[in-house]
Structure 1
Amino acid sequence: MIKNDKYRELKVLHQNKPKILMVDDRDENLLALERLLEDLPVLLYKANSGNEALKLTLHHNFALALLDIQMPDMDGYELAEILRQEEKTANLPFIFISAIYTDSANIFKGYRKGAFSYITKPFEPEVLLSKVRFFIDKYRQELELNIKSEELQRSNEELESFSYSVSHDLRAPLRAIDGYASILLEDYYDKLDDDGQRFLSIVKDEATRMGNLIDDLLSFSRLNRKEQIIEPVDMKKLADHVMDKIRDAHKGLNINYNCSSLHEVCGDKSLLQQVWVNLLGNAVKYRAADQEPKINVTSKLDKATEQVVFSVEDKGVGFNTKYADKLFGVFQRLHRDDEFEGTGIGLALVRRIVNRHGGDVWAESELGKGSTFYFSLPILKQQITSNNHA
């Protein structure tokens, strides 16, 4: 969950003036910097040593640090190294300012320590001012981006919680409808005329369909709440296991299933199993009425994107590619309920799972000739190595 204190901290930082840390062991140098920067919309903090600077970073969030190099006890290079090692200041931009270490070797050393810029004295005041303005603008832009990101994440979490609560609360009245409809069918069926029997059967069927929809919606809402357990996954074994379950559920149906050896990936096994459940299940469901399902599963390495691309090809009814962009949206269906039953959440679930693993999902199809669904997942490091040696 989003921590409210983090969001409030970002808002406060954005509302207040950015803070700049100036570090120099000579007061006259600090005073000169202060006078140069005093007209900027910033708060200036002065430190006469590396230790003083480190203490200030414990209590303040700085947008930029201006560091002298030659200082007693701890020079600017050492201070920069410590700043980079601490989590709070690891990304703090800093500029070295030096009148002594002006040779190329020291300048290169400064950049190697993580400096964003290196200014040698004497310098043009406008040069330093322009660099400071740049980092202040960059700091504010990053804050705005982080605030928007936090707001978006909070909105998504609130929407997911709302979906979960609504779906959960719908279960009780739906169970009552289904229960009373079952009682009427069992005890009063013969007392109803033909229309009454038909209407009651429709109520029962629609309650069942609504129950399936709620179950799928709950699964979709729970997905982001589930902590991923990342481990090596044998995708060939996983796909075959899912197909065995599908065959058990469709006894008497001759499913022509061909799965070549598939690349192993790292991911959450239970989530990736759900991907196969939906894609292989759809390949069986959306078959032509007069044909047995024909399914071909493959995988290949894509060097350019460093991803493994899996494909599930069927020879089913296909779909109009004009509406392909709707496939992976929640409640989006390209076939009527009286043609193929479903809730329109399965492929949205596939996309969310694959996206959470750092991959993508897409599809190709032609009406009456079948479809091919693709999804990509990051390549294992050993696959990259072995592929380079091949």
Structure 2
Amino acid sequence: MNFSFATASKIIFGNHSVDQVPALIRELGNKVLLVCGRNAQRAEELAGKLDPGIEVTFFQVESEPTTRLVTAGMELAREKECDVVVAIGGGSVIDAAKAIAAMATNKGELMDYLEVIGRGKPLLEKPLSFIAIPTTAGTGAEVTKNSVIKSPDQHVKVSLRSDFMYPDVALVDPVLTYSMSPELTASTGVDTLTHLLETFVSNQANPFIDMLCREGLHRISRSLLKAYKNGEDKVAREDMALASLLGGMALANVKLGAVHGFAGPMGGMYPIPHGTVCASLVSAVIEMNIEVLSESGGDLSKFEELAKILAGSQKAKAEDSIVWVENLVSALNIPPLSVFGLTEHDFPMLVEKAKVSSSMKGNPVMLDDEQLSWILEKSL
């Protein structure tokens, strides 16, 4: 029963809550770095509603954040003497902005602070004030303390992480997700499912995290397919936005598992959307975890409860969660890993990289090389 919990300083949730942003910025500063995605329309509309005298500098994130992109954003924020960073976009936009806000106030280079491939130094200075506004329902990045960054040189994704990096304000407006395509709804939705699922069965889980995960899993089990089929389903979009928020709160406080253990190195080596990686791996990871627990006489109660929540039946057994997830991924038409060029030749390197990942430490059981390779083979 010993646990701690941290999240964004302030969370605002609700339809049309984005209208509150000008007042929020007014309280934080007057030189804004506005970080957006490829389509800058929403950012431009938001900038047009800000108070006169607010100086706005735009910075676009057109793909997953890389070490070079974050460095460029950091230098721009310093040059323009920005005091507020606002991100409006998907997980990549928020992750990039979060890292830029952190690096703008801390001396040195990004590599000084990155995990795994960098020097891993702790941030010493509080980041610039930061408002995160997600336009997708998937990553939960608006309430996490890390930024996932791709290194083109090392072909891996790693994190910049600090307790300082929780956003000052996480503003979640489900209406902003209505424009997501069915494909993006599916990919990001399974990312949310995986966050909730892996933290629920994590070896670091606690009653507080369980409470968040149960609520999120209930909502996603009834609404992901509905949101995929009808992007303007108000209730489904609200459910997915809240599930994403809860998943982000959970993963910021306990480690994930083997799915995300593989996702970092796999995303660094191949141009595979993160949600697609999760969708391809998650049922195989569940199956292997259940098998190892069963053979060792371990506790399957969490997987049994997971199955009951997903299947919506008190009669469901642990193994039913595997079938439910497989059926969902099939209904969402998410492609397998083989479509992106992954082959058995890559397994040894992926296994070695996954074993040392931070997320793997949260997996409910220790998996050996053979078991990890089986997961990859099953996911092709």
TM-score with structure 1 length normalisation? 0.23
Higher strand proportion (structure 1 or 2): 1
Q: TM-score, normalised by structure 2?
A: 0.24
- Pick the structure with greater CA Rg: 1
